[in-house]
Amino acid sequence: MRKLLLTAMGILLGFSTIISAQGFQGKAVYESKTVMKMDFSGRNIPEDRKKMIMERMKKAGEKTFVLSFNQIESLYKEEQKLEQPGESRGGMRFGMMGSGGEDYYKSIKDGTYAVKKDLFGKIFLVKDSLPKLEWKMSGETKMIGKYTAFKATATKTVKRPNMSALFNRNENNKGKEFTEKKIEIVAWYSMDIPVNQGPADYCGLPGLILEVSDDVTSILCSQIVLNPKDKIEIKAPSKGKEVTQEEFDTISRNKMKEMRESGAFGRGRRGGGGSGHR
């Protein structure tokens, strides 16, 4: 383990002069898949309707992002796809719980982030300190494309929407709209690309994170372009009501509970937005 850490430090120190001199930058494309579970027990829903809901949830959980990065900052942005005819009709858009349309800016230099979030049509600008994970290094390696990747793990506590409770107004589900638990994060980073960056809010390893997964989401890098001819411009989002992550999480949870109690989820109203990253 000590040997691995020393090697990582040596590589980063060796590349630091080159990176600074060349204005090192790049773009990485990531495919993200989130599995959203739904419990239909106790609800009188036709099988074809259940199947349609699950298919829409599956599609909503499959996204493509582009990470533009240099040695001190990055921008993680979803590639917007055109909706097929009829996709947004006849029911609520399941992407409302996810990260659709967000621009996630990270400043490694300042240890901060800024992210634009759409919560049921209202734009928020969430600014806060980058989450700090206690990464545990491993000597385990594998190839991701042409890059040698090293494994690292960490744990964090998350609070997520409970889809079944939100869609089911049964009194037994009251107060269970959100679940909190400790999860394991598994990341694979490559010291061949010596930047302290990664997709979404992940960073803090001695190389670009090429793959990362938790209990519901897996993110895998599918393409990398280093030092392209055209200079990459990285800008932090600036529009929206500015709030901290804790403030946004509270607003989001209160809105979800309000909609559940009013029956908006069950009636299939449309909405967009996302919950916090924590």
Q: Which stretches of the chain drop beneath a pLDDT of 70?
A: 1-22, 37-44, 50, 53-54, 57-58, 81-101, 161-177, 260-278
Tell me if 97 is assigned to some domain.
yes
Structure tokens at 102: 């967000």
Tell me if 273 is assigned to some domain.
no
pLDDT at 77: 95
Structure tokens at 242: 């500015």
Distant-in-sequence, close-in-space partners of 250: CB < 8 Å, separation ≥ 6: none
Helices (H) and strands (E) in the chain, counts: 5, 12
Structure tokens at 148: 């040698």
DSSP states along 106-125: EETTTTEEEEEEEETTEEEE
Range of the domain at 210: 2-267
Tell me if 32 is assigned to some domain.
yes
pLDDT at 120: 83
Dist CA 160 CA 276 (whole Å): 8
Dist CA 72 CA 1 (whole Å): 27
Dist CA 268 CA 155 (whole Å): 35
When divided into structural domains, the chain yields a total of: 1
- Give the rounded distance of the alpha carbon of 255 from its chain centre: 21
Dist CA 79 CA 94 (whole Å): 17
Tell me if 275 is assigned to some domain.
no
What pTM was computed for the model? 0.75
Tell me if 36 is assigned to some domain.
yes
Q: How far is CA 57 from CA 52, 74, 187, 222, 253, in A?
A: 9, 29, 25, 23, 20
pLDDT at 172: 61
* Angle of CA points 219, 11, 30, to nearest 5°: 15
Dist CA 193 CA 176 (whole Å): 43
Is 166 within 8 Å of 260 (Cβ atoms)? yes
Tell me if 237 is assigned to some domain.
yes
Residue type at 132 in one-letter notation: K
Distant-in-sequence, close-in-space partners of 63: CB < 8 Å, separation ≥ 6: 31, 32, 34, 78, 79, 98, 99, 100
Tell me if 274 is assigned to some domain.
no
> Which residues on neighbouring strands pair with residue 155, listed in sequence order?
184
